[in-house]
Structure 1
Amino acid sequence: MPFFIVLEGLDGVGKSTIARRYAQQYGYQLMTTPGKELLPIRTDIINGLGSSETAKALFYAATVQAEGEKAYKLTESGENILMDRYRASTIAYAQQRGVTLDLSAVLSQAPRPHLSILLVLDEQQRQYRLQQRGTTAEDLETLSPDFRAGVLTRLQAECDATLDLTGATEEEAVGLLHDCINHQLRIGSASRP
């Protein structure tokens, strides 16, 4: 049975890096929200929406719906999907930014993943990673302890499992993710390549 698995987490925890490596190593198709077609113009769209956090949240919700439908079709055709961010991030970040629109209702038709995993990292290690890659405005937002705590609380409520990657090398993190997926989905103890 093909699986649709989502990785969620704050910026800088290694989601994209781990997702890319895991997908390559285990034969999953890697997807993101927004999708690859919108990534190059995302900043222009967000800037074009001005200061309306609700409009921005609706943009991200639309990308979740679109990518979720694509992921569902791919799993129906036998593909395993690993999604870098999805529904939980859209809801958590929007709520923490003060959006009162019920995004859970807006996204009620978005396909549900088989498993949603929240990746976490020691804050000092996360901030170091952010500095190494060059922080963005969104990254800076998560440096506020109150904002970060609010988003994490909401992500924990939306995700099926939490995986702490503190101190893990990239290779170890991929192994920990593999073990977590196997445990959560009870798909056996497939050996790591």
Structure 2
Amino acid sequence: MENQDYLQKIKMVIERCILGDRKAQYQVYEMYSKAMFNICVRITNNLEEAEDVLQEAFVSAFRNIKSFKGEGSFGAWLKKIVVNHAINHLRKKKLQFVDIDNLAEGAMNKTIEEEKIDEREITLEVGKIRRAIRLLPDGYRVVFSLYLLEGYDHKEISEILNISESTSKSQFNRAKKKLKEIMLENG
């Protein structure tokens, strides 16, 4: 019953946002800004840039809120906007991805070996992992965050970033390998 009440409350607040109610917009911002800010930080790797991206994403969301049809959760709809704004921000900074479709055969074999790295090997403290993630190159960090932290699959990531699915997988595996190296270097 509590969940139904919460969903009804959100629906009513969204309806008020559609009508341009600033108080309702502030309520939505208060409800979602922390989680969305965390997404921005994980993708941009910069607090100031994350703040800017968050503000731009919320402005865009409120400008386009009429397009929210209620088919999924509002949080998921907003998250997609936030992720897209963060990715576009990085693109403006010339985020580079290595497209493995264009790599030489020898490099391809290495990538296959990298795929065998066991994800469960990374079991160190969360604080150390977060610091190490911040040290990853942008392309690695973005794919790593979208896949492991935000729950997107490689097909979705490839569509979001306009890269091939194999490039997404490669970036993720390279991110895992680089993360291990950083963790070993920094103890």
Q: Same fold (TM over 0.5)?
A: no
Higher share in helix: 2
Q: Give 1 or 2: higher strand fraction.
A: 1
Q: Give the number of the structure with larger relative contact order, counting CA–CA contacts within 8 Å between residues 6 or more apart.
A: 1
TM-score, length of structure 1 as denominator length: 0.27
Which is higher, the Rg of structure 1 or of structure 2? 2
